[in-house]
Amino acid sequence: MIVASIDPTSQAYAAGQVIGSMTAAAIGIGLLWWLTRSWRAQPTPPGSDPAQAWKGKRKRTWFIAGVSVFIAAVASVKAFASYHPEPRAIETVAADGSEEYAVIVLPELFDRFRLLTGEDATRAETEVLAGRDLPHSLRTGYYDQDADGSYDLFVLVTSSDWDPKVAESKATKFISQEFRNYFTGAKARDVARFDPGKHGGGLACGHVTGPDGDQTMCAWSDAANLVGVRHVHETDLATAARTTLALRDAATR
C-alpha cells in the first residue's frame, strides 16, 4: 500500500541515504581510532631516543588521520551520488523532458466513454454527492461507458489554473506526498504506481470500497493538476490505469 511504503524517489528517502552513508563512515572512523589506540601509543622502549619515539607516534597518528579523511571523502562522494530526491510537483516535466503547463479540459468522448450532460449529469452528481456541497475549487465530470445513462467513471479535477491553493501546494509538495494524502483520504488499499505516459508526472491506482463492493480509484498529477478518477465497475488496477491514462491524454491541452 502506498501510504505505508518507502518511496525511493522522495526527498526523505534521499536524505536518509545521505545520513546513512555519513553515519556509517563516522562509526567506521570511530572504530578505526579505537582499535588502533594501542598501536598509535606504543611505549618508548628502554634506551631508545625519546625524540624518535615521539616522531613515530606522530607518524602513526597522522596515518590514521589520513585514513579517516579518506573514509570520510569516499562516504561523501557516495552520499552525493545517491542524492536524487523527487522534485516538487510544480517542477514536473513531460516524458520528453520539456516543461509544460497542462490545462485539463474534460473531453466529450474518449475511448468508449461519453461525458454525461443535462439530466444524466445532474442525476449522477446527486447520487455521488448525496446532498453534500463540493468546494468551489473542485470540478467534476461523469462518464458513461455502456450508453445506459448512468455513470461508470467519476472524475474530480483540482488545478492551479483556477485555484491558487493548488499552486501553493504543488510548490511545496512532491507527487508522492500528494498521492499519499489523496489515497489515505480515500481509504484506498493496494495502491500501486503506473507509467504516467507522455505527460510525465505520476499515475497511481488502488482499491476502495463502494456501495456494491470493490471499486478502483486512480489519480494523476502534474505541475498544475491533481485529478482523481473513480472506476465504479472496474476492479483490475492495470485496466483502470490504462483507462485513466487514456482520459488524461484526451483531457490534457
Q: Using CA atoms of 51, 56, 59, 60 in order, give the dihedral in degrees to the nearest 10.
A: -140
Q: Using CA atoms of 206, 211, 214, 218 in order, give the dihedral in degrees to the nearest 10.
A: -20
Dist. CA 196–CA 163, nearest whole Å: 23
- Whether residue 114 is predicted with pLDDT greater than 90 in this model: the reply is yes
pLDDT of residue 134: 79
- Whether residue 10 is predicted with pLDDT greater than 60 in this model: the reply is no
- Whether residue 12 is predicted with pLDDT greater than 70 in this model: the reply is no
pTM (2 decimals)? 0.70
Dist. CA 57–CA 196, nearest whole Å: 62
pLDDT of residue 6: 47
pLDDT of residue 5: 44
62-93 confidence digits (pLDDT tens): 998 999 999 988 888 877 666 556 788 888 88
Question: How far is residue 200 from each of residues 92, 107, 195, 220, measured CA to CA in Å?
Answer: 7, 20, 8, 9
Q: Which residues have C-beta within 8 Å of that of residue 218, sequence separation ≥ 6?
A: 203, 204, 205, 206, 228, 229, 230, 231, 240, 241, 243, 244
Cell readout for 174 is 512532491
Cell readout for 125 is 452528481
- Whether residue 7 is predicted with pLDDT greater than 80 in this model: the reply is no
Cell readout for 230 is 473513480
Residues paired with residue 219 on neighbouring β-strands, in sequence order = 204, 228
- Whether residue 136 is predicted with pLDDT greater than 50 in this model: the reply is yes
Mean pLDDT, residues 175-195 taken together: 95
Mean pLDDT, residues 32-47 taken together: 83
Mean pLDDT, residues 8-31 taken together: 73
The pair phi, psi for residue 210, each rounded to 5°, is -105, 180
Mean pLDDT, residues 35-59 taken together: 81
Which residue, among 180, 140, 174, has the nearest Cα to 157 in the 3D structure? 140
pLDDT of residue 81: 66
DSSP secondary structure code for residue 43 in this structure:
P
Rounded to 5°, angle at Cα 177 from 175 and 179: 70
Q: Which residues have C-beta within 8 Å of that of residue 50, sequence separation ≥ 6?
A: 44
pLDDT of residue 1: 38
More confident call, 149 vs 47: 149
CB distance 210 to 88 below 8 Å: no
pLDDT tier at 4, thresholds 50, 70, 90: very low
pLDDT of residue 178: 95
Q: Using CA atoms of 109, 112, 118, 121 in order, give the dihedral in degrees to the nearest 10.
A: -120
pLDDT of residue 119: 94
Question: How far is residue 186 from each of residues 102, 176, 207, 218, 219, measured CA to CA in Å?
Answer: 25, 15, 9, 10, 11
DSSP secondary structure code for residue 88 in this structure:
B
pLDDT tier at 162, thresholds 50, 70, 90: very high
More confident call, 246 vs 57: 246
213-250 confidence digits (pLDDT tens): 899 999 999 999 999 999 999 999 999 999 999 999 99
Dist. CA 126–CA 134, nearest whole Å: 12
